[in-house]
Structure 1
Amino acid sequence: MSLQKKALSGVSWTFLEQFGSKAINFIVQIVLARLIAPEEFGLLGMILIFNAIGNSLSDTGMSQSLIRSDKPDEEDFSTVFSINFTISFLLYWIFFIIAPYISEFYEQPRLTDLIRVYSIVIIISSLFIIQKTRLTYELNFKYQMKAQLPALFLSGLTGILLAYLDYGVWALVYMQIVNGLFLTITYFLQTRWIPNVKINRSKLKEHFLFGYKLTLAGIMSRIVKNIFPMVIGKYYSAAMVGYYTRAFTMKELPVVTISNTLDKVVYPLLAKIKNDDRQLKAAYQKIQILSLFVLSTIMLLLILIAHPLFGFLLGEKWLPAVPFFQLLCITGIFYPINKYNSNILKVKGRTDLYLKMAIIVNITMVLGIIVTVEYGIIPLILAQVINSLIGVGINIYYANQFIKYPYIEQFVDAFKTALPGLISFALIFYLIEFYNIMKDFNYFLELLIIGGLFMAILISLHFLFRTRALKEIHLILKLVPKGKMFGKS
């Protein structure tokens, strides 16, 4: 199968996996939000940072190196698997030992047992990450879908049952453990790959030298990303952590679905054309415009419907999370520009620049937290929005050195892509805020009316302006059957 056909097949299967998994997860989270109090979600939110650090350290970025490699062999995969498992095992015991001190920091005694049990997920994840990496390298996403969807369904049922039986936060913990165990079993059965426990030192050195910079960047990003629940839990309350994590999760749902769908295919695809800068830029430009078109549309619509959405799906007890959610959606608009510019550095092997970029962005975010923490949660989230914009500038600067896609060109493409959505947003926001047109409707009708008006205006404007995003979508619909989405191989 040609590279183009593999890419198109990969996008299709990945979309099915991401759409299916997020749909299942969305339904599960809605049910859990009605069964579990915000304070219980807040407890888990306080410790997510440790799990995030553990997963970053256990992989050490070497799975990304395997995907980028030209021809990784059995020794490559086995070496990385053995190192990942060893590190994850050591990390588990570190978290087991320091759990009481973390509980003391938060003044939440229940966290000791939660950390010790939830950290098992780090070990479980190390057991299937290389099997998943092998499938990704081969652009085989059909098997990944067959593993992911049943795992989410089974673990979701487990979580709902335990929540119904009043297990509280433990329902969330056991749900993640069941998900990891099922994925491990399924990936082993699908790939039939048994790792060799021997470690090849030269292979280890090769992948470590590429991956450790990604790991350091990933750890910093995950710490900063997850430090918000930690800071909110320390300075405010568990309930506020629950509101923030729920708002963040709702924002991440469309962002992660779309970005993961593309990124799982895009990264290995770009890695295969990394030496052809012209083709690399052309493929990147299409991905950038399409992902920005989709995410800017969704994020702007979610800001408009946030209040009825939370009221209808989660219940009125979650309405305090609405302003958090609306501000976080703004960061989702910037996500494609930040994500895919940084991918250029990875496929070019410049993980040193990737790390440098991550250091700058995360330092500015920490400074933002320090400056705003005493003023409330809204200023904290505004610091995230500003930091996302700073990240855009930094990412474009570095990526431009390799694909010649400068600020002005990216800005023009982004502005033209997002302009119809911004106009649609402004019109409907004016009607809602100044004419209060939704005052006599229930939550469900508000969702239908606002969503329908927004999409009608948006689509009309895209046709009126004849935007490139619309042309790219039309072109893809014509070329998908021919397997020509990314040009010549």
Structure 2
Amino acid sequence: MITQVMLLTAFLLSPVLFFLSALSPLLFESFLPEKWHGSAVYFQLMCLAGLFNPIASINLNVLRVKGYSNIVFYIGVVKKALAIAVFICTLPYGITEVIVGQIAVSIIGYVPNAYYSTKLLNYSIPTQLSDFLPSFVLSGVIASMIFWLQYVLDWRPIYELASLGLIAAMLYLAVASLLNLKPYQFAFHFFNRRFNNLRFIP
């Protein structure tokens, strides 16, 4: 069950966060006043900071369901303490450093979650990586491409945003299908079953 949730979450969430991060300059130019445009970099970093949180939460929720609430509590205390310590250390240096610090915390915080999933649920770290890394890598590569294209095209921001967003989504699905990635296979069959079930409801 945890493998299925991990596959689906990674396949759906990775492109959303990576593409939002890549397209954030266009988002800010299209929908916010000029004085806010400089804040796009913070939004980019916050999207990246959020990448590992859902993956870590899946591990914690499964541990909680399996009756290991005490371990979930201790992991939560350690992660909160680490986040506060990193925040205090990075605060004097500026907002960018604070967000980068939280990205590091989210990556480090994944480790104890994955460790206990390995020990207690027999869901090893290499297996977890094989489940979500393909979606991460593919999303990251496509996001890098559309980020670069923003500086090549000279269209109105809203047109660039719509065009590049659509291209990114179509390319992601096309490449995932062409490579027959495991997350794509599961997501395709998952939504196909849901669609068929809905279609036959009287």
Distance 1:390 1:445 in 2: 38
Identity of aligned residues (%): 25
For 2:145 and 2:32, the matched residues in 1 are separated by 27
Output the aligned Cα RMSD: 1.8
Q: What is the CA–CA distance in structure 2 between the aligned matches of 1:322 and 1:470, rounded to whole Å?
A: 30
Q: Deviations over 1:106-135 (max 9, x none)?
A: xxxxxxxxxxxxxxxxxxxxxxxxxxxxxx
SS at structure 2 position matched to 1:349: coil
- The whole-number CA distance in structure 2 between the counterparts of 1:286 and 1:380 is 33
- For structure 2, the residue ranges without an aligned partner over 5 or more in a row are none
TM-score, length-normalised on structure 2?
0.89
Corresponding residue of 1:320: 38
TM-score of the aligned structures, taking structure 1 as reference length: 0.39
| Pairing 1:88-127 to 2, within 5 Å after superposition | none
- Give the equivalent residue in structure 2 for 1:372: 90
Q: State yes or no: 1:421 paired with 2:139.
A: yes
Does the 8 A contact of 2:21 with 2:47 survive in 1? yes
Partner AA of 2:167 in structure 1: L
Aligned to 2:152: 437
Paired letter, 1:337 = I
Letter paired with 1:458: Y
Could you say which residue in structure 2 is the equivalent of 1:456? 170
Q: Which residue of 2 aligns with 1:475?
A: 189
Q: 1:394 matched to which residue of 2?
A: 112
Structure 2 distance, partners of 1:316, 1:430, is 21
Partner residue, 1:351: 69
Provide the C-alpha distance between the structure 2 equivalents of 1:335 and 1:364, rounded to a whole number of angstroms: 15
**Cα distance per residue 1:198-230 (max 9 Å; x no partner):** xxxxxxxxxxxxxxxxxxxxxxxxxxxxxxxxx
Aligned-pair CA distance for 1:464: 1.7
How big is the shift at 1:482? 5.0
Is the Cα contact below 8 Å between 1:308 and 1:447 reproduced in 2?
yes
Residue 298 of structure 1 aligns to a residue in which SS?
Answer: helix
Distance 2:155 2:148 in 1: 17
Post-superposition offset of 1:326: 0.4
Whether the aligned pair in 2 keeps the contact of 1:289 and 1:469 (CA below 8 Å) is yes
The alpha carbon displacement at 1:462 in A equals 0.4
Alignment of 1:306 with 2:21, yes or no, is no
1:304 to partner: Cα distance:
1.4
Q: Deviations over 1:401-439 (max 9, x none)?
A: 33211111101111122222122122233344xxx213x
Q: Which moved more, 1:295-304 or 1:342-351?
A: 342-351
Structure with larger Rg: 1
Partner of 1:405, secondary structure, is: coil
- Matched AA of 2:109: G
Distance in 1 (CA, whole Å) between partners of 2:35 and 2:101 is: 26
Shift in Å at residue 460 of structure 1?
A: 2.1
Deviation string, structure 1 residues 11-41 (Cα, Å, up to 9, x no partner): xxxxxxxxxxxxxxxxxxxxxxxxxxxxxxx
Q: Which runs of 5+ in 1 are unaligned?
A: 1-282, 484-489
Q: Look up the equivalent residue of 1:479 and give its one-letter code.
A: R
Deviation at 1:479, TM superposition (A): 2.5
Matched AA of 2:190: I
Letter paired with 2:21: I
CA distance in 1 between counterparts of 2:118 and 2:54 reads 15
Q: Do the aligned partners of 2:10 and 2:136 also contact (CA within 8 Å) in 1?
A: yes
Letter in 2 for 1:466: N
C-alpha contact (below 8 Å) 2:7/2:131 kept by paired residues: yes
The 10-residue stretch of structure 1 (292-301 or 420-429) with the greater mean CA deviation from structure 2: 420-429
**Deviation of residue 322 (structure 1)?**
1.0
Q: Comparing both chains, which one has the higher relative contact order based on Cα–Cα distances under 8 Å and sequence gaps of 6 or more?
A: 2
SS at match of 1:437: coil
| C-alpha contact (below 8 Å) 2:49/2:99 kept by paired residues | no
The answer to whether the Cα contact below 8 Å between 2:28 and 2:36 also exists between their aligned partners in 1 is: yes
What is the distance in 1 between the residues matched to 2:83 and 2:145? 33
Q: How far, CA to CA, are the matches of 2:48 and 2:80 in structure 1?
A: 18
Q: Output one character per residue of 1:37-59: Cα deviation in whole Å (capped at 9) or x when no partner.
A: xxxxxxxxxxxxxxxxxxxxxxx
Equivalence for 1:284 = 2
Change (3 A) 1:371 1:477: closer
For 2:191, the aligned partner's letter is L
- For residues 477 and 306 of structure 1, the distance between their equivalents in structure 2, rounded to whole angstroms, comes to 29
Further displaced range: 348-357 or 423-432: 423-432
Pairwise CA distance, 1:352: 1.2
Q: Distance in 2 between matches of 1:380 and 1:356?
A: 24
Separation in structure 2 between the aligned mates of residue 477 and residue 456 of structure 1, nearest angstrom: 17
Q: How far off is 1:473 after superposition?
A: 2.0
Q: CA deviation at 1:293?
A: 1.1
CA distance in 2, matches of 1:429, 1:304: 5
Is the contact made by 2:132 and 2:183 (CA closer than 8 Å) also made in structure 1? no
The superposition leaves residues 242-280 of structure 1 with CA deviations (integer Å, 9 ceiling, x where unpaired) of: xxxxxxxxxxxxxxxxxxxxxxxxxxxxxxxxxxxxxxx
Give the CA deviation at 1:364. 1.5
Q: CA 1:320–1:427 in structure 2 vs 1: closer, same or farther (change >3 Å)?
A: closer
